[in-house]
Amino acid sequence: METEQIIRTEYSELMQKSYIDYAMSVIIARALPDVRDGLKPVQRRTLYDMYELGIRYDKPYRKCARIVGDTMGKYHPHGDSSIYEALVVMAQEFKKGLPLVDGHGNFGSIEGDGAAAMRYTEARLEKITQEAYLADLDKDVVDFGPNFDETEKEPVVLPVKVPNILINGAEGIAVGMATSIPPHNFGEVIEGVKAYMKNPDINTEQMMEYIKGPDFPTGGIVVNKDDLLQIYTTGAGKVKIRGKVEVEHGKGGKDRLVITEIPYTMIGAGIGKFLNDVYSLAESKKTTDIVDISNQSSKDGIRIVIELKRGADTDRLCALLYKKTRLEDTFGVNMLAVADGKPETMGLVPMIRHHVNFQFELATRKYRTLLRKELEKKEVQEGLIKACDVIDLIIEILRGSKSIKEAKACLVDGETGGIRFKSEKSKRQAAKLRFTERQATAILEMRLYKLIGLEIEALLKEHEATLKNIGQYEQILGSRAVMAKVIIKELDALKKEYAKARKTAIENAGEIVLEEPRIEETDIVFLLDRFGYARTVDLAVYERNKEAADSESRYVVFCKNTDKIGIFTDQGQMHLIKAFDLPYGKFRDKGQPVDNISNYDSSREEMVFVAAVNRMRDEKMMFVTKAGMIKIVAGAEFDVGKRTTAATKLGEGDAVIKVGYVDGETHLVMQSKKGMFLRIEAGSVPEKKKGAVGVRGIRLAAGDELNGAYLMAPGECVRVSLKERELELIRLRVGKRDTKGVRHV
């Protein structure tokens, strides 16, 4: 019986090693593509499985569920969803510059619709995949390794003849690193490879004469051409892409903007987001030129139509779309791939160098295999030709032998013992025979019809062709220059059949400058009702409806249409709203919830005071909290750019109960829950910064807190209702700050 062995180890070291092992597994065997074939393991395994299943481009489609199930069972035991997702992406023309799978059925759309379930869709290999990605697998061009349970063999890398990592790009998130390689034009990349093979010392700038820049399946315009050299040199940077906008002239001077190409980054949910953003521009009055927007995209391409008013400024509107929506976006480039078993960020030329080295390795292994087969064929052919010359002797040996073993020994080593010959001469001739093992086997398996004259002639011709092939293969293997010509010839043939015109334009375009239209400044009135709906009306409209406006509104603030409104809350925050962002119009028009147009959240904070920023600049502001803390702050401190700012600092459990304007003559009256009142002069309160807590205004008893604070101008009479009577606050004696005050119940 084995004794149990306990290994003592440092827990942190064990965790560190385990996490590093996991991270490397994700990096190498899941998330990052190999620089040689540009494929992640799941993609490689799926394509190889389709090849093994015989789902060729000229054969019928097969159910995706069959492909996914077979791949999962044999090579990729990580769940069916990841395999099917990889299969779908390889079939989507709007994601891949060169689709590798021919999908049949619903494989999703550019607008983000998902593919149908795998039991409904079908697929097969594309012709290019078969010719340039999976060809020569039978010629020992790549190494094969065991699958996860060592019951099957799978290729370590596919013998891809084109730089797939550049043509189709790649995206993947590993542990602590991510890759993002844009797709490129097939024909341009082939020309770049040829240029490198002719001049291995080529630099990035020279390479970019062939590979101009990314070529996205969705088209668009790359607008930072001058940055591409740096990006392709370092392998990292940002590519700016714009959608393509065309102006169509309609009847009566009503133009429309038509978006025919979108940035690659807008694929999927980005299109719906763009439509919402355009709608928001119109709703928030950033532009009044948009009448309608519709998405008329179909399988024929993108077509988003924006209907405009008569005489609309199309140039400004285009600039607005580029500036305020994702019609201009950034594609972050990080050309990270697995090279020589480790992740590496590479520029354009190093990536092509790895690819070219791989091509020479593939070609060397291919032609070595072909040469070996041709040499074996030559050996057999020479044996058969030689056998034809002594066929009578061979027939005599076969007839006189008791077994195949005996006959073979005679053919290979000239052993004649035990074989009956017609004459001694035949025996002497047989003893001189020296066929090889392979030749002897071929002679013994040869059929009699091969002795027909025409067949012998065909054998001689075949031998000539074999000798020619051997010479050709030896020449290819003996000279790198000759091998390069062979590789280039294959690339030219692929380019001729599969190259397409570039879709993405590349240019230098200046930064979009959006001039905000000058707004004519007018006097308006901000109205906020008790339900939290805000709107603005013209001053004249307010004056005509003053009585109704004052009675129905919780806050009435006079301001300019260029002003900002500050909302002070019990949590010590101030939220800003631009008056221009509020609905403006008739008195009875419905407003907009303040929650929707600011950071104010009515579910967790309450309004205490609302004021116009323009007025606050010249005023002093008094803050009073329920814990009895008070301070004065210069209103100019609240003229900030942020949508939300801390208006005061609060102690734990404290809340603001009063904010208002004060001057040297204002009096403050504080009222507590237990009926304590204290009247003080505002001049006795020190001025603090908005980030300060303040000073104690009233000394409260244990368990007491303020529930009222009143600011009174000189001579103003404020009445407070108590249980059985009213208290006129002007009758209270003026006390000192930080005293207990007087009880009134």
| Dihedral angle over CA of 352, 356, 357, 359, nearest 10 | 140
The pair of structure tokens assigned to 454 is 């025409």
3-state secondary structure 495-519: HHHHCCCCCCEECECCCCCCCCCCC
* Tokens found for residue 139: 């010629």
With tokens 């065991």, the residue in question is 146
Q: Is 566 helix (H, G, I), strand (E, B) or coil?
A: strand
- Assigned token pair, 657: 């109960």
Coil, helix or strand at residue 12: helix
**199 near 283, Cβ under 8 Å?**
no
Asked whether 620 and 632 are in contact (CB, 8 A), the reply is: yes
Q: Token match 């001025």: residue?
A: 687
* 695 CB-near residues (< 8 Å, 6+ apart): 629, 630, 631, 685, 686, 688, 737, 738
Active-site hit among 19, 22, 120, 279: 120
How many Å apart are CA 416 and CA 422, to the nearest integer? 12
Complete edge-to-edge strand list for the sheet that includes strand 656-662 = 656-662, 620-625, 629-634, 695-696
93 contacts 25 by C-beta, under 8 angstroms:
no
Tokens 């972050």 sit on residue: 332
Q: Which two tokens stand for residue 30?
A: 């899941």
Task: Show the tokens assigned to 186.
Answer: 């097939």
Determine the distance from the C-alpha atom of residue 271 to the mean position of all C-alpha atoms in its chain, rounded to a whole number.
14
Residues contacting residue 446 through CB under 8 Å, at least 6 positions apart: 384, 387
**Phi, psi angles (nearest 5°) of residue 544:** -70, -25
The dihedral through the CA atoms of 173, 174, 177, 180 has a sign that is negative
Cα(320)–Cα(328) distance, integer angstroms: 10
Question: 123 to each of 41, 90, 113, how far by Cα in Å?
Answer: 19, 11, 18
Q: Tokens representing 179?
A: 């890759």
The span from the CA of 226 to the CA of 221, in Å, is 14
- Coil, strand or helix: which one is 167? helix
Give the separation between CA 423 and CA 438, rounded to whole angstroms: 28
Cα–Cα distance measured from residue 14 to residue 9, given in angstroms and rounded to the nearest whole number: 7
* Overall residue count recorded for the chain in this entry: 745
Q: Active site includes 120?
A: yes
Could you give the 3-state DSSP secondary structure of residue 347?
Answer: coil
Question: DSSP letter at 211?
Answer: -
Nearest to 621 by CA among 658, 571, 662, 569: 662
Return the residue matching tokens 């102690």.
651
Task: Give me the residue label for tokens 């007025």.
Answer: 615
Contact 533, 592 (CB under 8 A): yes
As a whole number of angstroms, the distance between CA 23 and CA 632 comes to: 57
What amino acid positions are annotated as catalytic residues? 120
